[in-house]
Structure 1
Amino acid sequence: MKKVLLIAAVAIMGISAKAQEFRFGPKAGFAMSTIKIDDKQDDLNERKMSPKYTFYIGGMAEYKFNDKFGIQGEVLYSPLGGKEKIDGVNAGVVFVGEQTKVNFGTLLIPVSAKYFITEGFSVAAGVNAGIILSAKQKTVVGSDFLDMEVEGEGGEVDIKKDIKTLNIAPFIGVEYMLENGLFFDARYSLGVSNLSNDGSGGNVKNSFAQVGVGFKFGGN
């Protein structure tokens, strides 16, 4: 009986070890980023932030505990942010408008739990820790016949002192991997951190969607 139990235990351990799998590799793709500003900032009440279309690039590592469950960590870089446009008003002789672009150079560190519906198809949920390395704003003042950048007021300015460093964003996503290791994924990260650091009492949040491709090395 003891021998039977020992053989069964060894067999279970062997199956478990075989199910464990470590993979790693590069990934890159397209991102759509938005900035949400609440009503506490009076000068921005009538402004609507539009999506900024950008990219991301980096690497990932995945560990599967068994055929169904795994964890994944990544390190990515993406210039996130948003755009805001103010419709022109009649200034007497010209029709003046304004467009502002905000850029957050962000190091993303997403960590997620994964559930494998099939060997190649999985869903994931986790948290994205974004470290904002730089924050810049560029405003263009335009008219019917003129586009003008005003340095210091309308040109590109550093706003890092007004933006907090950490952006926490929970996310959900899906992934499909081919047998050769090539994979495609998509996810949405909802920014929950208030990034405003200017003391005005306003609330600034950065959310973003990502669609990308990568390749996984390793595995059994």
Structure 2
Amino acid sequence: MKKVILSLGLLVGVAGVANAQTGLKLGLKGGFNGATFSGKDSKGSEYKAGFAAGGLLNYGFTDMFSVQGELLYSQKGGSRDYDNGAGKTYTDKTTLGYIDVPILLKVNTGEDGKGLFFEAGPQGSFVMHQRSFTEDSGGKQIGSSETSTDQLNKVVIGYVAGLGYQITSGVGIGVRYTGDFSQVAKDQSTTIGGVTVSNPNVHNSVFQFQVHYLFGGK
């Protein structure tokens, strides 16, 4: 009888350890964005600073593998220097606000919810707002700002890949890259005063440094 009780106690203890990092966890995260444009018309694009912040759901199938969905507000965009052909240099600056929804597979290499992890998966992004304007070489804004999102793709599809370190089973840090398959702007042209202007063929390209906290960690 004592052996049976001891065996049951050991089984419960092992099951408790095995399930410590499995199941559903909620979390918060935020961090720094270094954003720019890539693609056919991105020549001269430079990085601009922004931020990302929001929440996450993590479901652990085992101590090693989990799926994580996130809902983040993320600032993207970039700046681009160009010559107008008459010897004058101008800078286009664009700030874009998106709601990012990545679905990631996470591989955890540590024990007890700690250690190195890798993550990758698809991402859908929904444009919320933009502010674009042009500056001359002296930093003076030329004309008014563009705030309409009519010429932008309202939904863009991309991908995420990154790695990080779980400091405790609650607190972690990570770096990731997010790129878009879809163009920022719609693939169309506009004729103004007899001149046809096409939307630039560019894609969001963002490096992110993030800190997160998982509720329910030990």
Amino acid at match of 2:203: K
In the superposition, relative to structure 1, how do residues 67 and 97 fare at CA in structure 2: closer, same or farther (>3 Å)?
same
* Matched residue, 1:4: none
Specify the alignment match of 2:195 in structure 1: none
Task: Tell me which of 193, 199, 215 is aligned to 2:213.
Answer: 215
The verdict on how the C-alpha distance between 1:65 and 1:198 changes in structure 2, with shifts beyond 3 A counting, is closer
> Is the 1:32–1:51 contact (alpha carbons within 8 Å) kept by the matching residues of 2?
yes
Determine helix, strand or coil for the equivalent of 2:150: helix
CA positional deviation for 1:218 = 0.7
Change (3 A) 1:147 1:66: closer
Task: Compute the RMSD of aligned alpha carbons.
Answer: 2.7
The whole-number CA distance in structure 1 between the counterparts of 2:22 and 2:212 is: 21
Worse overlay, 155-164 or 195-204? 195-204
1:116 equivalenced with 2:108 (yes/no): yes
Q: Secondary structure of 1:118's match?
A: coil
The answer to which of 53-62 and 80-89 deviates more is: 80-89
* Cα deviations by residue, 1:130-172 (Å, 9 ceiling, x for unpaired): 1111122111123xxx543233xxx311241111011211111
For residues 57-105 of structure 1, the C-alpha deviation after alignment (integer angstroms, 9 at most, x for no partner) is 11122111111110111111122101001258766xxxx3211111111
Q: Is there any run of 5+ residues in structure 2 with no aligned partner, and where?
A: 1-6, 190-197
Task: Check whether the contact 1:28–1:58 (CA below 8 A) recurs between aligned residues.
Answer: yes
For residue 162 of structure 2, the aligned residue among 159, 164, 173 is 173
For residues 23 and 79 of structure 1, the distance between their equivalents in structure 2, rounded to whole angstroms, comes to 26
Task: List aligned pairs for 1:87-106, cutoff 5 A.
Answer: 87=83, 96-106=88-98
**Contact kept in structure 1, 2:64 and 2:107, CA below 8 Å:** yes
Deviates more, 1:80-89 or 1:58-67: 80-89
Give the letter aligned to residue 32 of structure 1: G
Q: Percent identity?
A: 25
In 2, Cα distance between equivalents of 1:18 and 1:28 = 25
Tell me, what secondary structure is at the counterpart of 1:58?
A: strand
Match of 2:134 in 1: 139
Cα 1:103/1:116, change in 2 over 3 Å: same
The 5 A counterparts of 1:1-80 are 14=15, 17-18=19-20, 20-38=22-40, 47-80=43-76
**Number of residue equivalences:** 197
What is the rounded CA distance, in whole Å, between the counterparts of 2:29 and 2:185 in structure 1?
30
Q: Does 1:129 align with 2:127?
A: no
Asked whether the equivalents of residues 187 and 201 of structure 2 are also in contact (C-alpha less than 8 Å), the reply is no
Report the equivalent of 1:182: 171
Q: Which 4+ residue blocks in structure 1 deviate beyond 6 angstroms?
A: none
Asked whether the 8 Å contact 1:102–1:137 carries over to 2, the reply is yes
Cα distance in 1 for residues equivalent to 2:175 and 2:46: 21
Cα pair 1:141 1:147 within 8 Å, conserved = yes
Cα drift, residue 179 of structure 1: 2.2
Alpha-carbon distance in structure 2 between the residues aligned to 1:70 and 1:133: 30
